[in-house]
Amino acid sequence: MILIKGGTVVGPTGPYQADVLVVGEQVSAIFAPDQGPQEGDFETIDATGKYVIPGGVDAHTHMELPFGGTFASDTFDTGTRAAAWGGTTTIIDFAVQRTGEVVQDGLAAWHGKADGNCHVDYAFHMILGGVDDESLKAMDTLVTDEGITSFKLFMAYPGVFYSDDGQILRAMQKARDNGAMIMMHAENGPAIDVLVKQALERGETDPIHHGLTRPEALEAEATSRAIWLAGVAADCPLYIVHLSASKALEQVAAARDLGRNVFAETCPQYLYLTLEDQLGAPGFEGAKWVCSTPLRSKHETHRADLWKGLRSNDLSVVSTDHCPFCFKDQKELGIGDFSKIPNGIGSVEHRVDLLYQGVVDGKLSLGRWVETIATTPARMFGLYPKKGIIAPGSDADIVLYDPAARTRIGVETHHMNMDHSAWEGYEIAGKVDTVISRGRVLVKDGAYHGAKGHGQFVRRGLSDYLI
């Protein structure tokens, strides 16, 4: 048993003073201050001056993802350990069916990578790289038998993951029937490929051209098209991943104003980093920030609009899209041709901190911080109330967060398997102090007490937000 005493518990509705009793792997009770057990066989953790929040739920990671002839550099071991250090106690990773593969084989491969290697609990979405009769049937099986209730489709990457509009519509109709969530990578891939080819022909090979050939219009158009298609599929639940641009957000907001089953996430990189300052860094340096959707221009309204969207709930979730590649030998594959740079940024360790900075900056309330990093992703993807909340009967996934401390981010101190940091030199208010996963202390007093194999696969139910 653990008694977390003297802290300020923060839930999605805001902060309150309380003591939290953990018995075994679950939260047993929440007490008014000092009303809990006075003595007994339990460890007391002093949370005075700290926020006591539910462990973070990162609904978008790619450990060991094969991409562009290489693999994302974090394994399930290193990536979930880094997540734990950063206060994230559940990840939802993407199992992959590549075009021509059997869905269940792809899923089995991802179970093989993760099983026994994770430090925190994990679940899977399924990427459908080929929508056909077989994979549509597999969607039903995954929902009913495997605890996988969300499917990612791509309007980008022709020849790799791309689905055409007919395939998308069929998958959406299936999801409407079985209650699954369709997650959409909303960028117009065929149009982007034309722009990429033209840029390379002009000799524009630097990393910044990755961003310039993926203009906002092609994200907004794809987002809009996905929303219209979901409407044709009787308002199938639709979740836009890694939304980066103001005009894409406008599409989502308009659909939500109409009461549609349309949701969206953004990622820390779009809230803070820009096309000019990072992707446009001199020489090949900008390769560190090549991700899709791309970083947007600081001269436009994107970042302010995304923060506003988080406040207004037009954006429901902040995930990382954690997809790390080392600079040496991986990002370097794209020297002389930006289109060969593996796409991805590693942030799984920093999301809780980076969003707390939004609280310090007056952009989010404490309750909204917890909601966007933990409660809503848990509810969105069928993990609630096991995850995402501190409540009797919920898993004891708990973070003590110290608002008086500071976090300095960089390659010397991070735990991700990367030879650089997209956030090098960022110094932010607040610090993850203690991390508990299903009743086990993983991080305390700057030391790591977790182990791979502690993290378990979690079967998910349907989204809480379905109408």
Q: Which is nearer to Zn ion, 87 or 189 (CB)?
A: 189
Q: Which is nearer to Zn ion, 331 or 368 (CB)?
A: 331
Q: Report the site for Zn ion in 379-398 (rule: CB under 5 A).
A: none
Query: Beta-carbon neighbour count of residue 112 at 10 Å?
Result: 10
Shortest CB 154 distance to Zn ion, Å: 7
Alpha carbon distance 428, 425 (integer Å): 10
Shortest CB 76 distance to Zn ion, Å: 16
Q: Which is nearer to Zn ion, 82 or 432 (CB)?
A: 82
Cβ-Cβ contacts under 8 Å for 440 (sequence gap 6 or more): 25, 449, 450, 454
Alpha carbon distance 321, 74 (integer Å): 13
Shortest CB 92 distance to Zn ion, Å: 11
Q: Which is nearer to Zn ion, 6 or 324 (CB)?
A: 324
3-class DSSP state of 42: coil
Q: What φ, ψ does residue 97 adopt, rounded to 5°?
A: -100, 115
Alpha carbon distance 417, 213 (integer Å): 29
Span of 37-45, 315-323, 390-398, 451-459 interacting with Zn ion by CB under 5 A: 315-323
Q: Which is nearer to Zn ion, 422 or 441 (CB)?
A: 422
Shortest CB 322 distance to Zn ion, Å: 8
Q: What φ, ψ does residue 213 adopt, rounded to 5°?
A: -90, 5
# chain residues binding Zn ion, by CB under 5 A: 2
Helix axes 246-257, 302-312, angle to 10 degrees: 20
Q: Report the site for Zn ion in 188-207 (rule: CB under 5 A).
A: none
The radius of gyration of the chain's CA atoms, rounded to the nearest angstrom, is: 21
Q: Cα 56 vs. chain centroid, distance in angstroms?
A: 10
Draw the binding track, 265-304, toward Zn ion (x: CB under 5 A; -: no contact).
----------------------------------------
Residue 291 burial (10 A CB sphere; 0-12, 13-18, 19+):
buried
Q: Report the site for Zn ion in 151-190 (rule: CB under 5 A).
A: 185
Alpha carbon distance 298, 276 (integer Å): 7
Out of 321, 353, 371, 395, the residue judged to bind Zn ion by CB under 5 A = 321
Q: Which is nearer to Zn ion, 27 or 222 (CB)?
A: 222
Shortest CB 162 distance to Zn ion, Å: 12
237, 177 in Cβ contact below 8 A? no
Span of 141-149, 302-310, 321-329, 360-368 interacting with Zn ion by CB under 5 A: 321-329
Shortest CB 378 distance to Zn ion, Å: 19
3-class DSSP state of 132: coil
Outline where 273-350 has alpha helix (H): 302-312
| CB-based closest residue to Zn ion | 185
Shortest CB 426 distance to Zn ion, Å: 22
Q: Which is nearer to Zn ion, 278 or 319 (CB)?
A: 319
Q: Is the dihedral of CA 387, 392, 396, 399 positive or negative?
A: positive
Shortest CB 64 distance to Zn ion, Å: 13
Q: Which is nearer to Zn ion, 18 or 227 (CB)?
A: 227
Q: Which residues bind Zn ion (CB under 5 A)?
A: 185, 321
